[in-house]
A and B are shown apart, each in its own frame.
Chain A
Amino acid sequence: MKKRHVWMVLLGLGLIALAQSSMPGLNRTGEYTQGTLGSILLPAPVSQAEGPVYGVGAWPLYTPDLKEGPGKDLVTAYCSVCHSTTYITMQPAMPAAYWENNVGRMINVFGATIPADDAKKIIAYLQAHYTLDTRKAETGSAVASASATTTQTPTVDGAKVYQNCIGCHQANGQGVPGAFPALAGRVPEMLAIKGGKDYLIQVLLFGLSGQISAKGQNYNGVMPSFGQLKDEEIAAVLNYVSTQWNNSLPQGVGAFTSQEVKLARAAKLSAQQVLEARTRLGIK
């Protein structure tokens, strides 16, 4: 996310904050990992490396499942970019109007990029499931409501992981022209380029932001990092998008493995650096 450190200009303040071209000393940031709700385990001691780097592991995630219903996928996609959906489930009993106001603020105040149609569906979902009337009935315990996150499927289903993407790239992989680039018909082209496979892993791990063009259409959006997903999940979703909608792995290109993802993590690129990699590869 180094791009954003190119610092904000205090416009209109008559004062230009000195540009921060980097975050000094920032060594690792924003790393999250799945935690287990409902059972507190005694953490093992860690061994510390010598030297000037002071760090800990990834921050565990304890995100309760959202309620089932139409629009849930959109909420998962659009409302997990800046924070987890725990921000939704933690709210107290609010009247329905709150959610309309809230989603409007996410878009207008915080810069969430959500097409108007989807925003409507998101509001409808939140009003159907997270208002006073709908929550009063909730009797389950915090643990029960979160238990779904503790059951882990042994083999990862790429289609399931792709649920994280459909809000933007759409279920049919066609994306939204001008907002979210298509994956259908394009992933094999990227895979055919030398280095394209690594690039795709990087997009998932570190995100992508800035001006790009794809199939002659311009985009200037933010693809959030999915570094919080497990290596297996990233490999699975990449295999899924490589083989859906008439996409297929080009000759000589093997399926994505969790090992490849694991190795790529070490690079710790910024979304800006991923954009640079894309330019170098000449992806269009």
Chain B
Amino acid sequence: MAKARFSRRQLLNLLGGTGVALAVGRLSGAQAQASSQSTQPVPSFTGPGPNPYWNGVNPYVTYPQKVPLIRLTDRPVQLETPRQYFSSALTPNAAHYVRYHLDEIPNAIDLSTWRLAVEGNVDKPLRFSLEELIANFKPASVAAVNQCSGNSRSRFQPRVPGGQWGNGAMSNSMWTGVRLKDILAAAGIKQGTVQLQFQGLDHGKGPEGKGSNAFMKSLPVTDPVIDECILAYTMNDEPLPLLNGFPLRLIVPGKFATYWLKHLTWIRALTEEDKNFWMTPAYRIPDTARGTTTPEDVAANKVKTVPIGNVNMPVRSFIITPDGSSKVPAGMPVAVRGIAFSGYGRVAKVEVSDNDGKNWHLASLGEYLGPYSFRTWEFRWTPKKPGKYLLAVRATDEKGNVQPDEGVWNPGGYLWNKIERQEIVVGNAS
């Protein structure tokens, strides 16, 4: 979710007017949601504390090509993936979350006239039909996590505006398509190009030249990720659902989804830095360790910001089952399962604790689908005594990044990767 910068005075007012404690609120373990025992829906509103549920507190709704997902907004469409769909490394397409910024979302696309255009500072402006992309270029595949920059924003303390996602603004797919570098080589990127700008068919009702009219993102032409980018025409070997970007989507492995343009139709070689709303002031993070800052520093105008594309997605891990909807009998061996990933590369280690992080035990890792994919993990757990247990999970990636036990705070609500917890009640077995 994009956030424009607050003016200093506005921010001071904003903070002055609230008694919200700035201490990073500690989640006492995510509460189950979608419990099979509960006939009560979640409340429609949480706050001023952090949202304690795994997903955001919104109703289930149906959309074309989708299983029931959790509605964040309806126009434009933003849908969160329920926790249950993360039990496998590849998220089913019908459950893949949805995040649009502008409300003119294609309902139908005519492939007889749709073309991918490569233009701007290139030797040879080009246009490709989907048929040409499929037939004329060698296909390439990558398993990669598509995660919204604002995933888990509802955990922030103090709360920040924007989409109040729980943990479900993420999904993982095997993406197949054309390598971006092959397309760029065909067009010939000329000297003097500084950024590549991407735009899709989705657009908005605001006036021309404003962020409410067009959604565009740019990457530095020198960013090594360009070589890893794929223009995907299949997702888990199926055509992309309309709501996930049919017919073509930019995949930027390791980076947040704001760069993963849907319905990709224009690639432009720019000779000057892109200053459109969605590059600045939107989607910027403090240029600090972990992108964290304080409301005071923001108010004092002390925070230098950089595009969120300057960093990769921090390492994260999640407990998917048990989800707290049932008790576990003491002495029974049960599998604690979940997923982990990092935008910086392969997940090297996942550890599980059953005493709120005091002691950690190694979990076993599932199949390796590539450095940017979800990796499943499993831990055999036999709780000895009845009582309440606080399970926690933390992952370490191949670069040695470990998940911290502190949250972050920045005005955009980005980069959350605090250790996740799940409370489990262990009952008597006799």
Which positions in A face B, CB cutoff 8 Å?
1, 4-6, 8-15, 17-18, 20, 23-32, 35, 37-38, 40-41, 43, 52-64, 81-84, 86-87, 90-98, 100-102, 105, 109-112, 132, 135-136, 138-146, 207, 222, 224-225, 228
Question: Are B213 and A18 closer than 8 Å at their CB atoms?
Answer: no
Which one, B73, B109, B239, B247, contacts A87 given CB within 8 A? Answer: B73
A100 to B: closest C-beta gap in Å: 8
Q: In angstroms, how far is the closest chain B Cβ from the Cβ of A136?
A: 8
Is B331 an interface residue when CB atoms closer than 8 A count as contact? no
Q: Decide: B113 and A24 in contact? CB cutoff 8 A.
A: yes
Asked if B271 contacts A135 (CB within 8 A), the reply is no
B71 and A132 contacting across the interface, CB-CB below 8 Å: no
The verdict on A110 contacting B75 (CB below 8 Å), with A56-B242, A83-B103 known, is no
**Cross-chain contact B120 with A15 (CB below 8 angstroms):** yes
What are 12 A-B pairs with beta-carbon distances under 8 A?
Answer: A4-B203, A8-B213, A10-B276, A15-B270, A23-B201, A24-B115, A25-B265, A53-B111, A53-B112, A62-B74, A84-B103, A141-B41
- Whether B368 sits at the interface, judged by CB under 8 Å, is no
Chain B residues in 8 Å Cβ range of A38: 59
| B265→A102 contact, CB < 8 A | no
A35 cross-chain contacts in B, Cβ below 8 A: 61-62, 74
A62 near B71: Cβ-Cβ < 8 Å: yes
Please report the C-alpha to C-alpha distance between residue A207 and residue B104 in the assembled complex, in whole angstroms.
Answer: 13
* B338 on interface, CB distance cutoff 8 Å: no
User: Is there an interface contact between A59 and B73, defined as CB atoms closer than 8 Å?
Assistant: no
Q: Are A86 and B75 interface neighbours, CB within 8 A?
A: yes
Judge whether B59 and A142 touch: CB under 8 Å.
yes
Picked from B75, B113, B210, B271, the residue with its CB within 8 Å of the CB of A63 is: B75
Query: Does A111 lie within 8 Å of B207, measured CB to CB?
Result: yes
Q: Which residues of A contact B110 (CB under 8 A)?
A: 25-27, 52-54
Distance A228 CA – B102 CA, assembled complex (angstroms): 15
- B372 CB to nearest A CB, Å: 28
B125: interface (CB < 8 Å): yes
Given contacts A55-B108, A56-B242, A62-B59, contact A4 B208 (CB under 8 A): yes
Is A17's CB under 8 angstroms from B120's CB?
A: yes
Also in contact, A82 and B61, with CB within 8 A (given A27-B110, A90-B163): no
For residue A89, give the distance in angstroms from its CB to the closest CB of chain B.
Answer: 8
Bound CA span A56–B239, Å: 14
Given contacts A23-B265, A145-B44, is CB(A59)–CB(B63) below 8 Å? yes
List residues of chain A with CB within 8 A of the CB of B46: 92
B410 at the interface (CB under 8 A from A): no
Residue B119 lies at the interface, judged by CB distance under 8 Å to chain A:
yes
What's the Cα separation between A169 and B59 when bound, in Å? 34
Q: CB of B24 within 8 A of chain A? A: no
Report whether A41 and B73 are in contact in the complex, using a CB–CB cutoff of 8 Å: no
Taking CB atoms, residues of chain B closer than 8 Å to A112 are 206, 212
B48 contacts A by Cβ under 8 Å: yes
| A142 x B270 contact (CB < 8 A) | no
Q: Does B224 contact A (CB under 8 A)?
A: no
Chain B 91-128 interface residues, beta-carbon cutoff 8 Å to A: 102-115, 117, 119-121, 125
Chain B hits for A139, CB < 8 A: 43
| Segment with Cβ contacts to A, from B12-20, B313-321, B381-389, B421-429 | B12-20
- B239 CB to closest chain A CB (Å) equals 8
Kindly list chain B residues whose C-beta atoms are within 8 Å of the C-beta of A141.
40-44
Asked whether B222 is an interface residue with its Cβ less than 8 Å from the other chain, the reply is no
Partner of A25, one of B44, B114, B161, B204: B114
Contact among B77, B112, B203 with A52 in the assembled complex (CB-CB below 8 Å): B112
* Cβ–Cβ contact A30 & B103, under 8 A: yes
Residues on B with beta carbons closer than 8 Å to the beta carbon of A143: 41, 59
**Bound CA span A82–B205, Å:** 5
Judged by a CB distance under 8 angstroms, whether B358 is at the interface is no
A284 shortest CB reach to chain B, Å:
25
CA distance A14 to B192 in the complex (A): 12
**Complex Cα–Cα for A64 and B73 (A):** 10
- The residues of B that contact A17 with a CB separation of less than 8 Å are 119-120, 197, 268
**Which of B75, B109, B120 contacts A61 (CB under 8 A)?**
B75
- Inter-chain contacts of B268 with A (CB < 8 A): 17-18
Instruction: Take A5-B203, A62-B74, A228-B75 as given contacts and tell me if A54 and B208 are in contact as well, using a CB distance cutoff of 8 Å.
Output: no
Q: How far is the CA of A61 from the CA of B247 in the complex (A)?
A: 24
Within the complex, the shortest CB–CB distance from A99 to chain B, in Å, comes to: 10
Is the C-beta of B275 less than 8 angstroms from some C-beta in chain A?
A: yes
Residues of B within 8 A of A6 (CB): 208
Q: Is B277 at the interface (CB under 8 A from chain A)? A: yes
**A8 pairs with B6, CB closer than 8 A:** no
Complex contact B161–A8 (CB within 8 A): no
Q: Interface readout for B258-289 with A: 1 if CB under 8 Å, 0 if not? A: 00000001101011111111000000000000
- What CA separation (Å) do A129 and B206 show in the bound complex? 26
Tell me the complex Cα distance, A14–B47, Å. 47
- Verify B44–A142 contact, CB threshold 8 A: yes
Q: Report the Cα distance A98→B10, complex, angstroms.
A: 8
Distance of A14 Cα from B269 Cα, bound (Å): 12
> Is B57's beta carbon under 8 Å from chain A?
yes
- Among the interface residues A37, A110, A143, A207, which one has the most CB atoms of the partner chain B within 10 A? A110
Bound Cα distance A94, B158 (Å): 9
Do residues B270 and A82 form an inter-chain contact, with CB atoms below 8 A?
A: no
The one of B41, B113, B270 in contact with A10, judged by C-beta atoms closer than 8 angstroms, is: B270
- Whether the pair A55, B107 counts as a contact (CB closer than 8 A) is yes
B36-54 vs A: 1/0 string, CB under 8 Å?
0000111111111000000
Confirm or deny: B60 has a beta carbon within 8 angstroms of a beta carbon on chain A: yes
Q: How far, in whole Å, are A52 and B246 apart by their CA atoms in the complex? A: 13
Residue among A58, A87, A142 making CB contact with B41, cutoff 8 Å: A142
